[in-house]
Each structure stands twice: as structure tokens, then as C-alpha cells.
Chains A and B, each alone.
Chain A
Amino acid sequence: MTERELNERLRQAVENAAPDDLEAILSRCGNGKGTVIEMKKTSSASSGRKRRYMGLVAACLALVLVAGGGGLFYQQAYAVASVISLDVNPSIELTVNKSEKVLSCTGLNEEGRTVLADMGGGSDLKGAKLDVAVNAIVGALVRSGYLDDLDSAILISVEDSDADRGARLQQELVASVDGVLQGASNQTAVLSQSVTANKALDDQAKQNNISTGKAYLVERVLAVNGSLSFDALAGLSVEELRDLLTTGAPAMPIGKDAALQAALAYAGLGEGDYSWAEVDPELDEATPYYEVELIVNGQETDYGVHAYTGEVIQGANVSAMNPGPALPQGSTPAVTQADAEAIAMAHAGVQDVPAVTKQDYDDGALRWDVEFRADGYEYEYEIDAATGAILSSQKEAEPVPVTPNVPAAQQPAQSGGSTASSSSGDIGADAAKTAALAHAGVDASQASRMKCEQDYDDGRLEYEIEFAAGGYEYEYTIDAGSGAVLDHERDRDD
């Protein structure tokens, strides 16, 4: 196939796949010159969300039918309103009643029981509100070192015969866990799913000492590659299962234990020869591997073990006291946060403006994501944490904030401006700000640098709100229709 033919095939494929949304777009664009923003929900604009929902429903139905459950909700047999599971490698399951009080909390595997040891094996959490119990468990997972790695993942699964309540619980738990992890400056990915369980899947989960939620995730991997074994997959961590899904599950990974053994064999070491070992899966890299970190006589060495062949692809013999080639590590970067901000601001030609800077991992390399505002522009930079090189930069004019000072003639007729809520389903900017402040527990008089913008996402009108208070910077996404907190973030305001 020539280059031209290949390009033409791709072009044709995208041309055919691109949806025709002209009507929806025109309905969002007013009749005047380009200043009017249609804020009403359009059926086409919300089609993506609807499709996703329908897809999930179809998938759930399919799973139930395949398993022969014929729509039986297994958990109805118990007088429990919802079953929530938390999986990292420890698997923990909670049952709650309609008032969202914990009825039981159980460690499903050995690691889960160890995490709950300080909480009476889970019995201390009985009677607690679900969000309190989940926060306590996530806190224990962080303290136990299960969520230390930058690529860690926690899976929250909600099983509820009442789909609306299940969806709400899922959303609240994700926000709550996210809040705990942010407070601990932790970068773990928070995955969530709604689960429609059935007896067969539940039995399979029990046999493997995992939650029904994790069993559901295993089923998804099996749907991608049916040649893999349920039992073997059940032994993998959520992070490994997620990576398998994103990479098409090409084969069964060797697992962390086998990777450790491969590294030890390569280094000529036995079980008692090292003081510390940690194995981190990197299955979504171009060459999938396990990173094995060994400390021997105070010397740290990293090894890369191919995830599917078990071959040591990167490493060094410990006896040579020669650290292996650079592998992604969570260690202190050569370029500090202050350096990264200085590099970005020098490039932008601005000086000493407040910046929001986060560490991030991409393609196996550590980098700094630096964001700041100056002179009416928003700047975003990605700085290589090893070399200080600017990997990407973006400069965008700040959106015009929704303020009462904008002349009426320039305000969109349908949006109602900042305080009005003339259009149906828009609580107005002031109410949105109040909702965000209330959620953050911040009094309006204490908040500074308040910014409020309307946004249109997934066919839904939202308010994006930012403010600073008490040494923190807050970011909120508020549903304009209900005032619900859809997303929130709190960062140190340095």
C-alpha cells in the first residue's frame, strides 16, 4: 500500500465515521454575528451521553443474558440496598442499606483483610455512613502503600437494583475518594463502574476471593481476549486489568511474582538477598514490562521484565554495583517545580504570576504540567522533569467571564446572564457559586480570585467555578440545572 493509498483509506474512514451534527451546531449558534451562545440543551448535543447510557444498559443486559440470569438481580435476595466494592489488589466489599449506612464490611482477600485489621476487620465501620467508611478505607490503603505509585488505580464498583440510586452513589463515591486522594497529594486513577451482578458471576468472584466488581472487570478483559483464563486474570491488580483493556489484552501477563523471580534470577540473587522489592506493572507502554525495584546492601537497582515473555529487557547485575538504564521512577525529578515554573514563565515572557503546577507521567517520563494566567491569557506548559525541555505549550485567550457588567445587548438572550435564571434548568451563576462554596465549607467573604464561567459539556450546561481560600485553590464544576457538584478539585495555593 502506498503512502497516498494509506492516507486516502484513513481519510475515507474518518469521513464516514464523523457524525453529521450540523443541526445541533446551528441550534447552538444564534442568528446574529458570532456572539450568541445557545445554552439550551439540544437533543443532538446530548446524544453522546444517551448513547453511552444505552451502551451500558445493553452491555448489562447482554451480560445477564449470557450468564443465564434472565434479569434476576441476585443481590435482591439479600435485604441490602447496595453493594460497593473497592479493589486495588486488596479487595474490600461493603453492603449498605437504603439510608446508606454500612451493614457489613469484608476483606475478600488476604490483603483486604490486612488493610481492615486496624478497623476490627471491618466491623468498626458497621453503622457508619458509606462515604465515611469509604474514606477511612481509602486512607488505610494510602497508609499501607497500596496507592503510592503514580500509575496506581482504584476501582469503585456499585451494584444496585435501583439504577438511579446506583449512579448517584457511584458519582458521590468517586468525588469523595478523589477528594481523599487529592488531600494526600496522591495521583492514583479512580475508576468506577456500575455492576449488574448475577449468581454465576458472584460465585466465580467468591471462588477467586475477589469482589463482584473486579469479576466484572475480568469479564470485560475476557470479552476482549477469550483465550485468557478467568482465574489467572482474577489474580492481577486493577491497574494491570485496566492496562490490559486499554491495550487489547494481547496475552496473559506473567504477573508481579514471576517478574520479581525473573529479576532475582537475572541478578543472581536469592529470596534472602534483598532488603526491599517493589514491582510496578507498565503494561500500557510500547514494550509492556514490569519494573522491578530491588534494594541490596543499600543499593537500589531497577530491572525491566517483559510483561509477556518474562525476559529481562533492562537491568544491571547487582554485583557490578551499576544501576541499570533509566526507567520511569517516582523519584525526585532533576528539574524542581520552581525550575519548571520559571522555564514556562520565561518562555511566556511573564514574571512571578501564581501557577498551578502538577507532576504528571506520560509515555513513561515524568513531567511538570504548569498552568498560569497573565494579561488575559491562559498558559499551559509541559516541562520535561529530567531535562527542563518544553514538551508543549499552549496560550489561549481567557474566556469572557459571565459577569453582570457585560452590556445586556452582548448577553446571550437565552443564557439569562449571571444572576438571572430565566431559562429553564439554569440556576444562575450566583447559585452555582453558593453551591461550590458550601461544598468547600468556605464562607463567601473568605474567598478570593472568584471566577465563574458557563460551559457546555456533554450536551449539558455547567458552571466552572474557581476561587482561592485558606491557602488552597478550588475548582468546581456545577450542574447548571440541578446545582449538583459534578467535579471538584482542591490544590495548594502556593
Chain B
Amino acid sequence: MDFKDYYNALGVSRTASADDIKKAFRKAARKYHPDINSGADAEAKFKDVNEAYEVLKDPERRAAYDQLGKEPPQGQGRYQPPPDWDSGYEFSDAMGAQGEGGFSDFFETLFRRGAGPTAGMRAGPAADSHGRIEIAIEDSYRGAERKLSLRSPVVGPNGGVTMQDRTISVRVPKGILAGQHIRLAGQGSPGFDGGAAGDLFLEVSFAAHPVYRPDGKDLYLDLPITSWEAALGGHIVMPTPDGKVDLRIPKNARSGQKMRLKGKGLPGTPAGDIFATLKIVNPKAETEKARALFEQMAKEMPFDPRAHLEGYAK
């Protein structure tokens, strides 16, 4: 278990007033909120900030935490609380609903040990769980199966709460889009007091793709073509996740020109489109023959791409 420096997480000193802590928390919460900050580590940071505030905003918890030691222990970064560290402190269990993901083991051990059922486990017919799943764009074209590790709180016979890991296999339906939810009926948290389990909802997102940029059902990409393909036009074969397609390049195509491949985007009724932005690339003149061809063009083609700059010359 790692020691958590809650003061550091909020960027306040150990002597900070309750008001300063609140202010620092609000500012950090805005900055790192995962819906606002799409940075990779924003979510982890947001969790840290919330956990820190959960402890430091409560005078009893803060006092107990301060009691643990002024210095984080050196060495392995592993932390064991001293025995009876919390004797004499009473915790009012005022946990807010934290939704997705709980707090660190450090927090759970110090502040939730032996506590009753945690938030989100209240008696009731069903408790839905929410999670996220990242899939490849190709998975949406064909449908896929994914293994998923879940961790959920389980109420034991003595009333204590333990975390239980389980692995399930999820079928990713064909045609799923980023932002849509997959429902797994009956796979949410088990109901408290024998109630029926809720559903598990997974919000889908696409892993960044080296070629395609998705926008709803449509995919965007840059399509490289040679300068002669652009000049002469003609048919090229383009590989897509939906199979190879024959694409007609118009004569005198220019860089930046957009081609639409209707119905080749993500499946659906109707299916999405693929938008290919042409990008003209020249081969390197590395052989004698290639140099000769370029030289011939230079000699015989009266073309000045900078003609329009003349008017602006000094």
C-alpha cells in the first residue's frame, strides 16, 4: 500500500486553513475533471484530488491523518499504518457517491475499515454499474469479443465489504459508435440484502487509430497519391476496414481535395462514409532514371507554382 500525501495532492501546506483547502480543491477539480480535461492522466489526478479532499475537509479525518506522521516513510513507498492509529477518533461516515472507481487502498484501509456497506450499496432493488471500454475501429466493422476485468464490492456474511475481481467476456456489437453504451443486463453490483443485481453499462470509445479519424459513423483519413495519379487521374485500389475499394481519382486532382466513399464507413442503416483527403506525394529522385524523368519534366513543363507571388514582390 502506498502512502498518499494528501496535502501535496491539493498543493496546500499542512497548516492550510479549511477555506484554503476548499479553494484548492475546487480549482483542481475544475482543472482535472475528466469531462473537461481530456489529458491522459487527468482522471487519475482528479481521483487523487477528490480522495485528498474527502480526508482533509473533515476535521476528524484530517486530525487522524496528521497523526500518522509528518513525513511519508522513506524506502519502498510501502506504507503500514501503526496499530491502533485511529483509536480515539470517531469517523462520521459521510462518503459522497463516488460513482466510477473507488479510492486508493490507502484510503480504504485507513478510513473505511470495518465500516458498513459503502455508498452505492444501499438497500434497493438494483445498483447499476458504469464503466468504459476502449475498442479498435475495426471491432465496430465486424463485432468483437473482449475480456473485461471487473472489480466490485461484495457484502460478506459478517456485513463487511470486500472487493471481488471477476473476468467476463463481452460481445461488442457490430456498428457500435464512440459515445454509445453497451448494456450487460444483470452484471451490475449485486443488490444489497439479496436484491436483484443491476445492469452494467459500458461507455464505448475508440482507441486512437494510426490512419482513421472517426466522427460519428464517418471516418476521415489522408490518402497519399503520386503526382502522376493526381495529374492523369484513374483508378486506384484503396484498402479499408470494409475491404478493398476501387476509387476513381479525377484528372488534375489537387492536394486537399476530398473524396467520399459512400457507405464504407462504420456499419449501420445507413452506414457511414469514408472521407479521403488527397495528399500528393513525390518519390525521391534516387536513381539515374528517376532524376532523368524529373529533369525532363523541369525542361518541358512550363509550370511556375509561385507565379502568384510576383505581384507581392518588392
A and B co-occur in one complex: no
